[in-house]
Structure 1
Amino acid sequence: MCRLRGDLVVLLVIVLAEAQCFMMRIVGENHSKCGCPAASQRQPRSIAPSKVQGLLLKDDVSSSSTITATATTTTTGRIFNGKPSRKGAWPWQVSLQLLHPKLGFIGHWCGGVLIDPRWVITVAHCIHNELFNLPIGALWTAVVGEWELDAGGRGSARLPVEKVILHERFNNYVHDIALMKLARPAPLSKVVRTICLPGPEQYIGKRQCVASGWGRYGPSPSLSTALLEVSVPLLDLEECLQAYGTSVPIRKGHLCAGHIDGSSGSCVGDSGGPLQCRRSDGAWQLVGVTSFGSGCARPGYPDVYTEIQHYLNWINSTIHANHDDDEQ
């Protein structure tokens, strides 16, 4: 009986939390409120390969990891065995698209997260890696409001990047974080919204969270055209330390999450996408951005994210230092 009452209390809290965001959608349509997505539905279309000649960056730190310069299909998605999300479910998801100075337009290269109408957060190794070092705003475009990759859906927008700022101590997946300042504010709407950041002293704890991105749908090497999502548990950092050993430095500032049985998780590329957890008030907050993994949900290896809470001071000070006087 006590267990039943406890389950009912948990269910009631979840329902009330969802109701707060739901009422926000009905009353006033306050698109500026962070962490509250729209709830509209859309049927996913079939999975199709991306036939773009370009680069292939593998965020696979296992012993078999390789870097190759060209590929006939870009496998830049990290979500493996996820399910297509609802349209508008993750309105802060960003597709970062690259115009390479020698190879031309690559298209979708990495994920990003809209934390402010003028600012996107991602990981530094998307910009500076073994293949290139391109912290040049003019080479990047942030696509917001997209659900079906490169479909140009209603409400989506292609926004030029004004400035790219990497963490000054970034090296080998340590301090793997970067900010992109947009040339103009993102047009907030039902399909374009910002996500909340956690408080500096907020307790995150172990819980189920959601990673999203345009990743592999099962064993196929093709990208999903639909934005995928997968539920992953937050784990102790010690589990990642034991799994990866000395192959890559795991430090304070990393976050460990994912299924270690290989059932689902991250795959190759699309780093910088969000790991989002729901707060008690129903809003979603960004707890991590995808940094690296061992391959496509390899058994025994959780995924590693850059922990947002650890870098709040850097995020806030960087935005403040690059604040325009004419910004509202």
Structure 2
Amino acid sequence: MAHFWFILTAAVYFSLCSSEHQNVRGHDSEKSMEVHQNAQDVEDSTRQKAWNKHVVPSCLEEKYNDKSCQKVFCHPWERCLQDRCMCLIPNECPRVGGPVCSLGGNRLPSYCKLKSLECLRKNSKYAFSNFMPCSKPRFSIKEERGQLFLQISGDWLPVCANMNMPTANAACRQLGLSLGAKTVQNKKMVSKTNTNSSQAVTKLLCKGWESSLAECQYKLGKYNKCQRLGHIHINCYKEERGCNISEFECANKKCVPRTRMCNGDDDCADRSDELCCQSCSKGALLCSTGNCVAETSLCDGEPDCINYEDEANCTSTKKSKKYDNEVIVQERQNIREAALPVCGNSSFGISSVVLLQPRSSRNRRLIGGTQATQDQFPWQAALLQDRVWTCGAVFIGGNWFLTAAHCVSKVMAEYKVRVGELARLTRETTQDELLIDRIVKHPRYNSRTNKNDVALLFVAKMDHIHLYTPSLTPACIPHSSLQFPPGTQCFASGWGRALELTTLAKRPNVLRWVKLNLIGNCSAFHGERFTEGMECAGSLDGSADTCDGDSGGPLICYNSLNDAYVWGIVSWGHRCGTEGFPGVYAKVAFYYTWIRSITGKDIFKH
């Protein structure tokens, strides 16, 4: 019995010891896992911080992509409607260029009409192949064991060029894989295979949006260059899966490494990895709207930044690589130029006079301001009500002017616009008075709150002698509300009340202008009265502002090419030049779709 008790006691003791030992081991394991998790959290946090240095997280929530015209230019075969690039119908294309051939063997009247059909029908058979005649062998592409070949003029040629991700995306798109490439690399050639040609594609460069490599720039060279360059191998993106923590989910659901964001290369194949940046890597250019543009796209004649930063300061003597099919690039440029409205033209030296003026001092405001010179603001107009000067207005092209809705509130009044005017009390040779035949106030204008304080003025009998001259040139209409961010220096002009004149009620004889900075988060100053569609500009200390009589006049901002955009219409404010209450303007970009729906092709050609 004692023997049994010893065995039982020993067994229990061993069991307790084992249990205690296991608990200790379990505790160590949990502690180890916790330490590992903490290390992982620190690593993830470090990655997140590094990632946040390049991107703007709040912007990423908007899911911008290559069809978001708040961020990008629409192609000439598209138009911006409701902040999206929408397909034109073929007949809306500019009448530029000759017949072209599609990959499906179709003959189309022009490149733009071909792209319009491709855009509408989402069919690759309408992708571009070549210019006439269509009897020529079509431009084709094939991939064998990852190696890329192009058929140009009947011969299958290996691609030996250094290829970037946008070019690889275009190649995969032509192969029928819309999400573009996963990887692209050069592999050294072992032996001459799969081709009998003595030539190879030794240069190949795409923008990234193309649906056919025939739209890209390429150059043919001797096949022996492949010995040095190697063959291009692409791996197209085919998987559908969730993205892990080290990856960015593109707007099209493709997963790309976060380390490849904001480097100028369109890794996503829809540009969503390059549209929400606060800095760029790999020598890419940062646009004012937060887009990164690759070095290869700078000064190429095809603007990628809404403010044209990528096409500014380009010299005509800059050496460019020669390609065998530069005609397609020239064709696109011709179409783009034909589609652009004539506006804000700096060829008259319009804005250079403004930009070279010295910085205004504290008491030099539009309620004071600086006197303008003749033709300095050729879009500026004066609005007359029953022959009495009452407000400002801005010429926007065709037969149309833009002003504030509160300036045309009198129903039975006779309204005229006076153009080409510098001094109100002097009859000038450039001056003309035009009867307004139609007034279109914004349908949701609220006279109590000044919400939607914009109106369009139609003049049927424009004196075409004065159209598009140094004295009368339209300001451009911005399509993106992101084009000019807070802090941008802009210019207001008008004949409003001047502070330093002997009588405060007295308006100046000569047109005046003032520099004003755009101000963000303006609801902090004006509370609930500041609503969507409004913009603040001026200075918080009240040293620069617009005033009574400036209403309806323009707030002009300039892009990198010195083109003038009417960013705001003088609307309302808390007295004039009051500290802590910057002036408020109707934000014209917010009304782009409405303006376009009223004016149509009179301003917007396509």
TM-score scaled by structure 1?
Answer: 0.69
**How do 1:1-328 and structure 2 match up within 5 A?**
33-36=342-345, 38-39=348-349, 79-99=366-386, 105=387, 107-128=388-409, 133-134=410-411, 139-171=414-446, 172=448, 173-186=450-463, 187-188=466-467, 189-200=469-480, 203-206=483-486, 207-220=488-501, 221=504, 222-236=506-520, 238-239=521-522, 241-246=523-528, 249-320=529-600
Q: How far apart are 1:81 and its partner, in Å?
A: 2.3
Residue pair 2:378, 2:470 contacting (<8 A) in 1 also: yes
1:194-245 deviations in Å (ceiling 9; x for gaps):
1111133752212000000012332432111111000000010x23x12223
1:219 and 1:169 mapped to 2: Cα distance?
37
1:124-165 deviations in Å (ceiling 9; x for gaps):
01112xxxx32x5x7001000101114221211101111011
Residue pair 1:195, 1:286 contacting (<8 A) in 2 also: yes
- Structure 2 residue identity aligned to 1:167: H
Structure with more of its chain in helix, by fraction: 2
- Structure 1 residue identity aligned to 2:511: L
1:98 and 1:282 mapped to 2: Cα distance?
33
- Structure 2 residue identity aligned to 1:223: R
Larger radius of gyration: 2
Q: How far apart are 1:39 and its partner, in Å?
A: 4.2
Aligned to 2:578, the other structure's residue is in SS state coil
Aligned to 1:304, the other structure's residue is in SS state strand
The 3 A distance-change label for structure 1 pair 264 and 180 is same
TM-score scaled by structure 2?
Answer: 0.38
RMSD: 2.9
Quote the residue 1:48 is aligned against: none
- Structure 2 residue identity aligned to 1:183: A
Residue pair 2:481, 2:590 contacting (<8 A) in 1 also: no
Q: How far apart are 1:299 and its partner, in Å?
A: 1.2
Residue pair 2:494, 2:549 contacting (<8 A) in 1 also: no
1:280 and 1:243 mapped to 2: Cα distance?
30
- Structure 1 residue identity aligned to 2:374: K
1:194 and 1:79 mapped to 2: Cα distance?
22
Residue pair 1:81, 1:264 contacting (<8 A) in 2 also: no
1:270 and 1:95 mapped to 2: Cα distance?
10
Q: How far apart are 1:121 and its partner, in Å?
A: 0.3
1:261 and 1:301 mapped to 2: Cα distance?
8
Aligned to 1:168, the other structure's residue is in SS state coil
Residue pair 1:81, 1:265 contacting (<8 A) in 2 also: no
Quote the residue 1:26 is aligned against: none
Structure with more of its chain in strand, by fraction: 1
- Structure 2 residue identity aligned to 1:98: Q
Aligned to 1:266, the other structure's residue is in SS state coil
Q: How far apart are 1:191 and its partner, in Å?
A: 0.7
The 3 A distance-change label for structure 1 pair 287 and 204 is same
Residue pair 1:81, 1:263 contacting (<8 A) in 2 also: no
Residue pair 1:156, 1:192 contacting (<8 A) in 2 also: no
- Structure 2 residue identity aligned to 1:178: A
Quote the residue 2:252 is aligned against: none
1:86 and 1:36 mapped to 2: Cα distance?
17
Aligned to 2:591, the other structure's residue is in SS state helix
The 3 A distance-change label for structure 1 pair 299 and 91 is same
Aligned to 1:244, the other structure's residue is in SS state helix
How many residue pairs are counted as aligned between the two chains? 248
Aligned to 2:437, the other structure's residue is in SS state strand
Which sections of structure 2, spanning at least 5 residues, go unmatched?
1-308, 317-340, 351-364
The 3 A distance-change label for structure 1 pair 84 and 143 is same
Aligned to 1:301, the other structure's residue is in SS state coil
- Comparing 289-298 with 199-208, greater Cα deviation is found at 199-208
Q: How far apart are 1:117 and its partner, in Å?
A: 3.1
Which sections of structure 1, spanning at least 5 residues, go unmatched?
1-12, 21-31, 41-77, 100-104, 324-328
2:540 and 2:516 mapped to 1: Cα distance?
10
Residue pair 2:381, 2:417 contacting (<8 A) in 1 also: yes
Residue pair 2:394, 2:553 contacting (<8 A) in 1 also: yes
1:181 and 1:123 mapped to 2: Cα distance?
14
Q: Following superposition, which runs of at least 4 residues in structure 1 exceed 6 angstroms of deviation?
A: none
